Amino acid sequence: MTDIQYVAPRTLDEAVAAFAATKGAGRILAGGTDLLVQMRNGVVTPSAIVDVKKIAEMIAIEETKEGGFKIGAAVPGATLRDHAKLRKAWPGVVEAANLIGSTQIQSRATAGGNLCNGSPAGDSVPAMIAAGAIVTIQGPKGRRELPVEKVPKSPGRLNLEPGEIVVSFTLPPRPKGSSDAYLRMIPRTEMDIAVVGCGVSLTLDNGTCTAARVGLGAIAPTVLLVEDAAKALIGSKLDDAALAKAAAACSAACRPIDDKRGTIVYRTKVAGVLLKRTTLIAAERAGGK
Amino acid sequence: MAKLHVSTTINGEPQEFLCDAEQSMLDILRGPLGLTGSKEGCGTGDCGACTITVNGRIACSCLMLAAEAEGQQIGTIEGMAGEELHPLQQKFLEMAALQCGICTPGVLMAAKALLERNPDPSEHDVRFWLAGNLCRCTGYDKIVRAVMETAADMRGAAR
Amino acid sequence: MSTTESKTDSAVNDNKWIGQRTVRPDGADKVTGRAAYSADTNMPGMIWGKVLRSPHAHARIKSINTKKAEAYPGVKAVVTAKDIVNFPLDKSVMLGIQDMRWMCRNVMAREKVLFIGHPVAAVAAMSEKIAAEACKLIEVEYEVLPFVVDVEEAMKPGAPILHDFLKHEGKPSNIAGTLEHKLGDVAAGFAKADVVIERTFHTQPVHQGYIEPHACLVSVSDGKATIWSSSQGQFMVRAMCAYLTGIPQNDIRAIPAEIGGGFGGKTIIYLEPLALMLARKSGRPVKMIMTRGEVFHASGPTSGSYNKVKVGATKDGKLVAAQGTFCLQAGAFPGSPIRGAAGCAFAPYDIPNVHSVGIDVVSNRSKVAAYRAPGAPIGAHAMECVMDEIAEALKMDPLELRLKNAAKQGTKAAHGPVFPRIGFVETIEEAKKHAHYTTALPKAKRGVRYGRGVASGFWFNAGGESSAQVNINEDGTVVVITGHPDIGGSRASTANITAEVLGIDYKKVSVLIGDTSVIGFSNLTGGSRVTYASAMVVTQSTEHVISILKERAAKIWKIDPDAVVWENGEARPAGDNAGKFEPLSLGQIAAQASATGGPIGAGKQLNTTGAEGGFATHLCDVEVDEDLGIVRVLRYTAFQDVGRAIHPGYVEGQMQGGAAQGIGWALSEEYIYDKNGKLDNPSFLDYRMPVCSDLPMLDSVIIEVPNPKHPQGVRGVGEVPLVPPMAAVANAIHNALGRRFYSLPMSPPKVLASLDMAAE
C454 DSSP β-pair partners: C619
A102 near B CB under 8 A: yes
What percentage of residues in chain A have a pLDDT greater than 90? 96
State yes or no: cis peptide before C682, omega within 30 of 0.
no
For residue A245, the enclosing domain spans 178-285
pLDDT band at C7, cuts 50/70/90?
A: low
A208 within domain boundaries = yes
Closest CA to C470 of C531, C517, C520: C520
C92 class by beta-carbon count within 10 Å (0-12 exposed, 13-18 middle, 19+ buried): exposed
Strand C354-362 and strand C448-459: pairing?
Answer: unpaired
Mean pLDDT over the full length of chain B: 97
A260–C680 C-beta distance less than 8 A? yes
Instruction: Enter the DSSP assignment of C378.
Output: H
ipTM: 0.98
The whole-angstrom distance between B80's CA and the closest CA on chain C is: 7
Q: What is the DSSP string of C450-476?
A: EEEEEEEEEE----EEEEEEEEE-TTS
Collect all residues of chain C within an 8 Å Cβ-Cβ radius of residue B42: 292, 683-684
| Closest residue, chain A, to C745 (C-alpha) | A187
Please tell me the distance from the alpha carbon of residue C148 to that of residue C565, in angstroms, as a whole number: 68
The CATH number assigned to the domain holding A241 equals 3.30.390.50
pLDDT band at A2, cuts 50/70/90?
A: low
Number of structural domains in chain A: 2
Please tell me the distance from the alpha carbon of residue C355 to that of residue C184, in angstroms, as a whole number: 8
**Under a CB-based contact definition with an 8 Å cutoff, are residues B62 and B24 in contact?**
yes
> What's residue A289's pLDDT?
46
Instruction: Enter the DSSP assignment of C633.
Output: E
Q: What is the pLDDT of residues C69-117, one digit of tens each?
A: 999 999 999 999 999 999 999 999 999 999 999 999 999 999 999 999 9
For testing contact with chain C, the best of B136, B138, B145 (most C CBs within 10 A)? B136
> What's residue C575's pLDDT?
87
Chains that touch A (3 or more CB pairs under 8 A): B, C
Q: Tell me what the mean pLDDT of segment A192-211 comes to.
A: 97
Q: What crossing angle do the helices spanning C376-394 and C398-405 adopt, rounded to 10°?
A: 110
Entry pTM = 0.97
Beta strands in C152-285 (DSSP E): 167-168, 171-172, 175-183, 195-203, 215-221, 224-229, 252-256
Q: Tell me what the mean pLDDT of segment A249-278 comes to.
A: 96
Q: Tell me what the mean pLDDT of segment A14-33 comes to.
A: 97
A100 within domain boundaries = no
Give the Å distances, CA to CA, from C87 to C81, C238, C246.
11, 17, 11
Please tell me the distance from the alpha carbon of residue C426 to that of residue C436, in angstroms, as a whole number: 16
Q: What is the pLDDT of residues B112-131, one digit of tens each?
A: 999 999 999 999 999 999 99
Is it true that B4-79 and B87-158 share their CATH fold? no
Domain boundary among A51, A68, A83: A51
Q: What is the pLDDT of residues C701-731, one digit of tens each?
A: 999 999 999 999 999 999 999 999 999 999 9
Please tell me the distance from the alpha carbon of residue C424 to that of residue C161, in angstroms, as a whole number: 43
Q: What angle do CA A132, A136, A137 make, to 5 degrees?
A: 135
Residues of B numbered 92-121 whose beta carbons fall under 8 angstroms of chain A's beta carbons: which are they? Answer: 110, 113-114
> What's residue C467's pLDDT?
98
Give the Å distances, CA to CA, from B125 to A232, B114, B144, C694.
37, 9, 10, 13
Using H for helix, E for strand and C for coil, what is the string for C288-355? EECCHHHHHHHCCCECCEEEEEEEEECCCCCEEEEEEEEEEEEECCCCCCHHHHHHHCCCCECCCCEE
pLDDT band at C13, cuts 50/70/90?
A: low
pLDDT band at C264, cuts 50/70/90?
A: very high
Find the largest Cα–Cα distance for chain B. Answer: 56
If one compares A23 and C4, the residue with the highest pLDDT of the two is A23
B76–C660 C-beta distance less than 8 A? no
pLDDT band at C11, cuts 50/70/90?
A: very low
Give the Å distances, CA to CA, from C439 to C431, C452, C459.
12, 11, 29
**pLDDT for A1 beyond 50:** no
> What's residue C14's pLDDT?
74
Please tell me the distance from the alpha carbon of residue C664 to that of residue C739, in angstroms, as a whole number: 20
Please tell me the distance from the alpha carbon of residue C140 to that of residue C348, in angstroms, as a whole number: 51
Q: What is the pLDDT of residues C479-512, one digit of tens each?
A: 999 999 999 999 999 999 999 999 999 999 999 9
Q: Tell me what the mean pLDDT of segment C521-534 comes to.
A: 95
Please tell me the distance from the alpha carbon of residue A224 to that of residue A152, in angstroms, as a whole number: 10
Chains that touch C (3 or more CB pairs under 8 A): A, B
Within C625-696, residue ranges assigned H as helices are 648-667, 684-687
Please tell me the distance from the alpha carbon of residue C499 to that of residue C517, in angstroms, as a whole number: 26
Q: What crossing angle do the helices spanning A264-285 and A240-253 adopt, rounded to 10°?
A: 140
Closest partner residue to A2 (CB to CB) among B22, B132, B133 is B22
- Helix (H) or strand (E) run with residue C243 in it: helix C234-245
Which architecture characterizes domain B87-158 according to CATH? Answer: Orthogonal Bundle (1.10)
pLDDT band at C2, cuts 50/70/90?
A: very low
What are the phi and psi torsion angles at C369 (to 5°)? -120, 170
> What's residue C760's pLDDT?
82
**pLDDT for C10 beyond 60:** no
Collect all residues of chain C within an 8 Å Cβ-Cβ radius of residue A260: 672, 680-681, 686
Using H for helix, E for strand and C for coil, what is the string for chain A? CCCCEEECCCCHHHHHHHHHHCCCCCEEECCCCCHHHHHHCCCCCCCEEEECCCCHHHHCEEECCCCCEEEECCCEHHHHHCCHHHHHHCHHHHHHHCCCCCHHHHCCCEHHHHHHCCCCCCCHHHHHHHHCCEEEEEECCEEEEEEHHHCEEECCEECCCCCCEEEEEEECCCCCCEEEEEEEECCCCCCCCCCEEEEEEEEEECCEEEEEEEEEECCCCCCEECHHHHHHHCCCCCCHHHHHHHHHHHHHHCCCCCECCECHHHHHHHHHHHHHHHHHHHHHHCCCC
Q: Tell me what the mean pLDDT of segment C290-318 comes to.
A: 98
Please tell me the number of Cα atoms within 13 Å of A74 on its side-chain side. Answer: 20
DSSP-derived 3-state class of residue C21 = coil
**Domains in chain B: boundaries:** 4-79, 87-158
Please tell me the distance from the alpha carbon of residue A117 to that of residue A34, in angstroms, as a whole number: 7
What percentage of residues in chain C have a pLDDT greater than 90? 97
**pLDDT for B1 beyond 80:** no
What are the phi and psi torsion angles at C319 (to 5°)? -70, 130
**Under a CB-based contact definition with an 8 Å cutoff, are residues A211 and A234 in contact?**
yes
A279 within domain boundaries = yes
**pLDDT for A6 beyond 60:** yes
A83 within domain boundaries = no
Please tell me the distance from the alpha carbon of residue C541 to that of residue A152, in angstroms, as a whole number: 70
Check: CATH 3.20.190.10 for B4-79? no
Q: What is chain B's length?
A: 159
Instruction: Enter the DSSP assignment of C750.
Output: H
Q: What is the pLDDT of residues B91-101, one digit of tens each?
A: 999 999 999 99
**pLDDT for B157 beyond 90:** no
| Closest residue, chain A, to B3 (C-alpha) | A1
pLDDT band at A3, cuts 50/70/90?
A: confident
A270–C672 C-beta distance less than 8 A? no
Collect all residues of chain C within an 8 Å Cβ-Cβ radius of residue B100: 210-212, 258-262, 487-488
DSSP-derived 3-state class of residue C103 = helix
Question: Quick one: how far is CA C130 from the chain centroid?
Answer: 36
> What's residue B159's pLDDT?
74
Find the largest Cα–Cα distance for chain A. Answer: 66
Domains recognised in chain C with CATH numbers: 420-460+612-760 (3.30.365.10), 464-608 (3.30.365.10)
Instruction: Enter the DSSP assignment of C204.
Output: -
How many beta carbons lie within 10 A of that of residue C167, not counting itself?
12
Using H for helix, E for strand and C for coil, what is the string for A58-117? HHCEEECCCCCEEEECCCEHHHHHCCHHHHHHCHHHHHHHCCCCCHHHHCCCEHHHHHHC
- Helix (H) or strand (E) run with residue C607 in it: strand C600-608
